[in-house]
Amino acid sequence: MVSPNQPEPPIRRVNADDLYREEVEEARGRSLEEKFLAGPKLFDRSCEFMRAGIRLQFPQITDDEVERLLLERLELGRQLENRE
């Protein structure tokens, strides 16, 4: 917390490219085990973003319907990935 007599610290402006670069550098420094364990965490994070998008698209639906749509979209993604 900044006291009333101290000036506020400067705001650090960061763009998406800088954030991506920082994430890549952090990932390069991780051990193989850390990289392996990050996979499920990243998947869970992606699912949370997808759930939020579904809720924005369909604000009136129930949590069960959100999960059903999430599973449908994941399956569609698998099908598209496996197309030749």
CA distance 30 to 41: 15
- The 10s digit of each residue's pLDDT in 35-64 is 888 889 889 999 999 999 999 999 999 999
Task: Please indicate, yes or no, whether the overall pTM of this predicted structure exceeds 0.85.
Answer: no
Neighbours of 54 (CB within 10 A): 19
Q: Are the C-beta atoms of 16 and 8 separated by less than 8 Å?
A: no
CA distance 40 to 55: 22
Q: Report CA torsion sign: 72, 78, 82, 84.
A: positive
